[in-house]
Structure 1
Amino acid sequence: MNRTDDQDTSVIVVGAGPAGLMLAGELRLAGVDVIVLERLERPTGQSRGIGFTVRTMEIFDQRGLLPRFGGIETSTAGHFGGLPLDLTILGAAHEAARTVPQSRTEAVLEAWARELGADIRRGQEVTGLTEDADGVSVTVKDADRALRGRYVVGCDGGRSTVRKLTGFDFPGTPATTELFVADLRGVDLAPKMTADPSAGGLVMVAQLPDGITRIIAAERGAPPVRRTGPPEFSEVADVFKRLTDVDISAARPVWLSAFTDAARQATEYRRGRVLLSGDAAHIHLPAGGQGMNTSLQDSVNLGWKLAAVVRGTAPGTLLDTYHEERHEVGRRLLANTRAQSLLILGGDDVAPLRDVLGSLLDIDEVARRLAERASGLDIRYDVGGGRHPLLGARLPELALHDGRRATTSTELLRRGRGLLLDLDDSAGLRRRARPWNHLIDVVTATARGLPESGPPTGTTGVLVRPDGHVAWAAPGSHHDLPMTLTRWFGPGRPALSARAPAA
């Protein structure tokens, strides 16, 4: 069902970073076989990203992954371009995770994907890619033969080999400034963030687990340098000294890197049987840690769709909605981070803008809008329109009781399947959904409340996609339930469809 005899696997994922590992787990959760090819022999242990946005916390909870991270330090403090944001404006249930190293995130996701049966192969450098009508052949350096799969997904970072081999356009703005990041031992620095124009640049200090201090430093106007490796620690220490008058030269560097404010986005996320996810599709200044979080959410959006197409339950056109939905998210992300780049790295000329925006953040609606954007809670997909306020949005955790036990909508999404919540004990609703019962879970329950605002008045049913976004809700959707189920999950079983009454 997943592949033909001449194919090694259904899906080949290139890259074992957060996006690739998340996608591998999502595919295996849906029963699709996958091979992950990673160029490096072993994980680097480096951690560019160090936390989760509120939406990523929800996604990990939907898959039951949060306990695997152990104790997670959370916070209601955020920022937009260095201007403080208080996440409590989103409601008491919303906190972001701080100081979770990306290396830990990758370890958790790799263990999960392997447990589900993902084939993860390290030391496999992709050097060629050829697509034909039936699949894609991937050439691996020093391998005896090419690997065959039905689809290939490039999750191989900002310098993506898959993107270049396939010819995806990657327009955007070039780098104007270089920033340093360093993880250090043996230094005592208080957490801080300074980005106002009078400071001469950006300085951030954060305490990570295991006694590591992270610093990020950038001198305003410092031009980017073409590098073939990480910067010397003396270079980083000199910049930090000029910006803060603090000498960190005696510290012991654990990891050093440099990055820029370049912003680019692939013009398409799908080209035939080749798709892009994560940094392979978009690069930008990592303001607020949104890069890794957006990459994880790319893969959650793609995973269930690609699985449905591979299994043959949905047509290949379902994959077009991945580009339609996530390209717009990426476009807004680049606009968001470029605006923050101006606020963080701009000089005296942006001081008036910072003052105006800072005063506007005193208005609750403005603060809420920016907090939602920084947290990933503002994403709403086009699912067909209608009047219901949840259509296209992610479903906030809904407390439920199914007549036997208390549960939540989050818990019901753990299997990675679609979910139809019958909130009115409607036999007619369940009959209309019966042809799709092999693809979705139908749960009759009483809603006990949404933590954010209470259950929408009069809601009788909600169809939730595997990624947690609402595809249909009653009353208020323009499309009927069978039409919506067909759009997102493919045709129902014909024998059952013939017996089901019209909606």
Structure 2
Amino acid sequence: MALPQYTDVLIVGAGPTGLACALSLIKQGCSDITIVDSLPQGQNSSRALVIHAATLEALDKIECARPLVQAGINATTIGYWDAGSFVQTGSFDKLASYTSFPMILLISQSVTERVLEEQLKHAGVTVIRPCTTTDMKANEHDSHISGVYFENGQIVHARCVIGADGARSTVRRIAGVGFSDPDGETSEDDVANSKFSQMVLADVTFTAPLDLPYNGIIFVISPDNSFLIAPLPPSPDAPSEQLYRIGFGIPPTLGTPPHSPSVSYIQSLVDAWGPGRMHTAATSSSSLSPHKVTIAKMLWATRFRIHSAVADTFFTHLPLTSRAGDDARVDGADTEARGGIILLVGDAAHIHPPAGGQGMNLGLRDAVALGPVLAAYVKRVKASTSHGQVNTATDDSDLERSLRDWAATRRGRALAVIRMVKILLRAVTLPDKTSWILGIIPVNLHTLRNLIMRIITRLGWVRMMIAWRLSGLGFID
């Protein structure tokens, strides 16, 4: 499919965030949208696992929540297994007074993308694939337009470019926006602050059904690692086979995991830290030796590095000089009204460890919240330029104020989530070693954490507050 020469909004990236952004704009009457992705259909990964209540509330505004709920598994509990017993830490059903979606929706990212893209097709917009962005330049004749260049030689002129193209965003790089840990931490800090800095995820089936205590998210905590397991809706190719998402931290002693983990590699991780450590009776406190849990089929697996970063700004213009190879803005460059506006959403704007299942949720809420603001901007700027009214920087600033407010608000949300996720990760990965207070009092933080959690999570109010915090309902988007 050929790209248009002109569009009001060009969305680069057709993952969940880009698709939701397009749907939100359409809902607000902004129909001149072009959405592109560098990958062919069906090649996007399924890293994200959870959609939280606040995100479902946002998606309900664009009529996508109900189809997703029907396609996923509605779970209400999270918890962990350690030292022969199960601790329920979050009760999402207790949020029923605050949301229409008192649950954690378990659904793979690939299914989320499929549902959102189907909704977009019903609205008359088709994702154009594969299209790889190579550069952006300000239009010589209209200061409110950017020329976006593609690998195939085509050029699209857009009033607004939305970078929804992931953590290695080409749009962000060309715009010269910095992307770094908000606390100035490095990869070495990641290793020092937790047991691991690499993770492996996989979608698998097992040779025999697992006897799990409930149909939700379970962490199996070991002295040297943490293992995640959660049920997923069956694959369309094998509707009778129970599919599971599993995830592992990779301790530094194992080195860097392979780029494409094999079944044998994943099986070795299952043997070391997987569900075989759990007793089959969730109510029993006795410990048994790990039993063999064998992978029958692996549908997908990936590795990734655990780190956090946030863009310096979610709203910008092209710098005076822009080239795809630049890592930062040109010193002294004029950043006002140089080409169309550029906005960043999802992983292009923020990334952090997967603890709490917050990444895609934050991006989806970015996107849905952007729709009304950007649609109003496009309508106003088109009306103003058609009457020759936009001639000064003051006029530009007035038109853009709501978008700057959106960007500042969403960046604040991202910073709050990054702080929360870092705390969660460090709590999960407390070292199983004894420290001495005043040289005479032995304290094992791993054991102390488990004891405290067992005590406080007996209270339903505590389990509800943990669910509230993770659900995102504390933020009004």
Q: Distance in 1 between matches of 2:207 and 2:256?
A: 27
Q: Which residue of 1 aligns with 2:411?
A: 327
Q: Distance in 1 between matches of 2:469 and 2:22?
A: 27
Which consecutive residues of structure 2, in runs of 5 or more, have no partner in the other structure?
82-86, 192-196, 235-240, 275-289, 318-340, 382-397, 434-444
Residues 1:140 and 2:128 aligned together = no
Deviations 1:83-109 (A, max 9, x none): 611124433554224332221211111
Which residue, 351, 357, 373 being the options, matches 2:469? Answer: 373
Q: Which residue of 1 aligns with 2:309?
A: 264
Within 5 A, what are the aligned runs for 1:38-117? 38-44=37-43, 46-69=45-68, 70=70, 72-78=72-78, 84-92=89-97, 93-117=100-124
- 1:54 to partner: Cα distance: 0.8
Moved more, 17-26 or 134-143: 134-143
Moved more, 172-181 or 278-287: 172-181
Cα 1:361–1:270 shift into 2, 3 Å: farther
Q: Distance in 2 between matches of 1:91 and 1:80?
A: 23
Q: Distance in 1 between matches of 2:459 and 2:156?
A: 56
Q: Distance in 1 between matches of 2:21 and 2:80?
A: 29
Q: Is the 8 A contact 1:202 1:220 kept in 2?
A: no
SS in 1 for 2:418: helix
Q: Is the 8 A contact 1:184 1:255 kept in 2?
A: yes
Higher relative contact order (CA 8 A, sep 6+): 2
Cα 1:258–1:24 shift into 2, 3 Å: same
Q: Is the 8 A contact 1:15 1:157 kept in 2?
A: yes
Q: Distance in 1 between matches of 2:454 and 2:176?
A: 42
Q: TM-score, normalised by structure 2?
A: 0.71
Q: Distance in 2 between matches of 1:80 and 1:284?
A: 21
SS in 2 for 1:251: strand
Within 5 A, what are the aligned runs for 1:339-418? 339-348=423-432, 350-351=445-446, 352-356=448-452, 359-361=455-457, 367-379=463-475, 393=476
Moved more, 293-302 or 282-291: 282-291
Q: Which residue of 1 aligns with 2:352?
A: 284
- 1:163 to partner: Cα distance: 1.4
Deviations 1:142-186 (A, max 9, x none): 22x321101111101111111112111111143532111111235
Q: Which residue of 2 aligns with 1:300?
A: 368
Residues 1:179 and 2:199 aligned together = yes
Deviations 1:264-303 (A, max 9, x none): 1112111121111001111111123211111100001111
Which residue, 103, 118, 136 being the options, matches 1:129? Answer: 136
Runs of 4+ residues over 6 Å off in structure 1: 80-83
Please provide the CA RMSD for this pair: 2.7
Q: Is the 8 A contact 1:180 1:218 kept in 2?
A: yes
SS in 2 for 1:185: strand
Q: Is the 8 A contact 1:29 1:116 kept in 2?
A: no
Q: Is the 8 A contact 2:310 2:414 kept in 1?
A: yes
Letter aligned with residue 62 of structure 1: K
Q: Which residue of 2 aligns with 1:457?
A: none
Q: Is the 8 A contact 2:15 2:113 kept in 1?
A: yes
Q: TM-score, normalised by structure 1?
A: 0.68
SS in 2 for 1:64: coil
- 1:362 to partner: Cα distance: 5.1
SS in 1 for 2:40: coil
Q: Which residue of 2 aligns with 1:426?
A: none
SS in 1 for 2:179: coil
- 1:368 to partner: Cα distance: 4.3
Q: Distance in 2 between matches of 1:95 and 1:47?
A: 23
Q: Is the 8 A contact 2:7 2:34 kept in 1?
A: yes
Within 5 A, what are the aligned runs for 1:484-503? none
- 1:253 to partner: Cα distance: 1.5
Deviations 1:232-276 (A, max 9, x none): 332222122122455566522110101232111112111121111
